[in-house]
Amino acid sequence: MRFFNTTGPVVAEDHYCIPPLKRLDLTEVRQLIRDKRYFVLHAPRQTGKTSALLALRDLLNAEGNYRCVYVNIESAQALREDVERAMQVILGDLASWARLTLSDEFLTENWSGIFAEFGAGALREVLTRWAQADPKPLVLLIDEIDSLIGDTLLAVLRQLRAGYVLRPMNFPQSVVLCGVRDVRDYRIQSTAENAIIAGGSAFNIRAESLRLGDFSPDEVHTLLSQHTETTGQIFAEDAQNEIWKLTRGQPWLVNALAYETCFKNKSGRDRSQPITAEAICDAREQLILRREIHLDQLADKLKEDRVRRVVEPLLSGGEERHFTDRDLEYVQDLGLVAQDLPYRIANPIYAEVVPRELTWVVQGEFEQETAWYVNDDGSLNVVKLMNEFQTFFREHSEHWVRRFQYQEAGPQLLLQAFLQRILNSGGRIEREYGLGRMRTDLLIVWPQGNQTHKIVIECKILHKSLEQTIADGLKQTAEYMDRCDAEAGHLVVFDRREDRRWEEKVFHRRQVSESGVEIDIWGM
């Protein structure tokens, strides 16, 4: 039986999938190959790049106009900047793929002898002799190119560039480099030259850079429908909408949510029962709590300064960007930030993972009992909760905020860590934040029997006068409450001015917005 795939390339016989070649502009790819171009295919991890390359290889070989070989060179990563040993690994892997794909023994029989003669520069000579050995043009697909570093990466790029003028009779007609980022964005530290080399200069023969996109809403629907056609189990319309809302089509996330609900969760294995939006939300929580490898790898990138420069102002809702275009391109290539404006985290699941990851250790150090904030009828006492946080923030915020790597967003992160610790045993938090919003929107979703209660908590940093900040915040909070159909709203104003005493910063009052909504205001 087929299933939703979350590991490795898709296999149509085993997995529900969108045909990989349908996700490429195949007309453009064919034209580039016919025109003897060298080009790049890039996309974030686990979006289907390898599946697309393997499908392209099989198509070209089946048509018979080219010899096409795929090779993954990630195994050379472990050798780092030992160029000669890394080149041995790359040539050995290339020979294996050629033998397995085309039953071509030329490299197996010849690469080691060529390497003995040419050493670290053997790649160009190997490809030259291989191209000459058969009149049919050679197409080479190199996967995980950006797993290489330093002089090893430079050696590969420069040897491909050096042989470019010899194509197609004496060098591959077309080469596709595949990785997370575009080659032109590489900044390669060369130990041998004691310099940073731009990838664009080391590989200035790149004709195009193609990006493999996420699933469209129609593709998400098509993928889910394959499960229904196979098993009879349907995804309710609200469940399909929830999957799109949470993932924005990110392929791994779509497959992971569907697999979690249909195959991992016991209730979802009953094919007579439809998959509901509630089941999708539960699956989301399980993926996050288990810190699945895909999410954990993404979260690990938050430690990098160039990622922090982009993500920190998104978390704080700052008005201005202090990151460079290259910083932005990097986090977009990682898939962490959306490709289009406004600047924002790419999808709600990533938006949930980011603050949780940044506050993971802090959450564990809060000693709070959930029961203390739950009323006798099972409802959440948010006023008591916020009053406790206000006291905590006054006494400990300086110490705690300094512990965050993302100090500009420290107050908001501290509140989220506090709330997350409380809600882990019951409800959940949904978050909205982004550059220029001047606020962070939090929505507490709290189950109570057969009902679900929604409470908005909006965070603002005091930038203007206190009254103007409150006036703006009341309007924004009321609008967010209306959009979420929330029954209660709280506005938190963080005053970070160092010349103010805590007696001036700390207050709690209830005020009515222009639209007539009553909102609690908390000063901190």
- Mean of pLDDT values over 323-345: 94
Question: pLDDT at residue 361 above 90?
Answer: no
The single-letter code of the amino acid at 385 is L
User: What pTM was computed for the model?
Assistant: 0.92
Task: Say what angle helices 122-132 and 150-163 make with each other, to 10 degrees.
Answer: 30
In 3D space, the residue among 473, 495, 511, 497 whose CA is nearest the CA of residue 393 turns out to be: 495
> Which residue is associated with the tokens 């003995």?
116
The tens digit of pLDDT for each residue in 221-278 reads 999 999 999 999 999 999 999 999 999 999 999 999 999 999 999 999 999 999 999 9
Phi/psi at 410 (5° precision): -55, -50
Strand partners, 440: 459
Give the C-alpha separation, 186 to 146, whole Å.
Answer: 8
Helices (H), 139-232: 150-163, 199-202, 217-231
Q: How confident is the model at residue 187 (pLDDT cuts 50, 70, 90)?
A: confident
CB 140 within 8 A of CB 172: yes
Question: pLDDT at residue 218 above 70?
Answer: yes
* Tokens at 250, concatenated: 């990110």
**Confidence (pLDDT) at 366:** 67
SS3 label, residue 455: strand
The tens digit of pLDDT for each residue in 49-97 reads 999 999 999 999 999 999 999 999 999 999 988 999 999 999 999 999 9
Q: How confident is the model at residue 425 (pLDDT cuts 50, 70, 90)?
A: low
- Mean of pLDDT values over 99-107: 97
CB 324 within 8 A of CB 330: no
In 3D space, the residue among 99, 29, 39 whose CA is nearest the CA of residue 59 turns out to be: 29
SS3 label, residue 369: coil
Widest CA span of the chain, in angstroms?
A: 84
In 3D space, the residue among 433, 432, 401 whose CA is nearest the CA of residue 417 turns out to be: 401
In 3D space, the residue among 52, 332, 31, 40 whose CA is nearest the CA of residue 210 turns out to be: 40
Which residues have a Cβ under 8 Å from the Cβ of 469 and sit 6 or more positions away?
A: 460, 462, 463, 493
SS3 label, residue 242: helix
Which residues have a Cβ under 8 Å from the Cβ of 350 and sit 6 or more positions away?
A: 250, 295, 298, 335, 336
| Range 314-350 burial, b when 16+ CB lie within 10 A, else e | bbbbbeebebeeebbbbbbbbbbbbeeeebbbbbbbb
Q: What is the mean pLDDT of the chain?
A: 94
Starting at the edge strand found earlier in the chain, the sheet holding 451-461 runs 428-432, 440-448, 451-461, 488-494, 518-523, 507-512
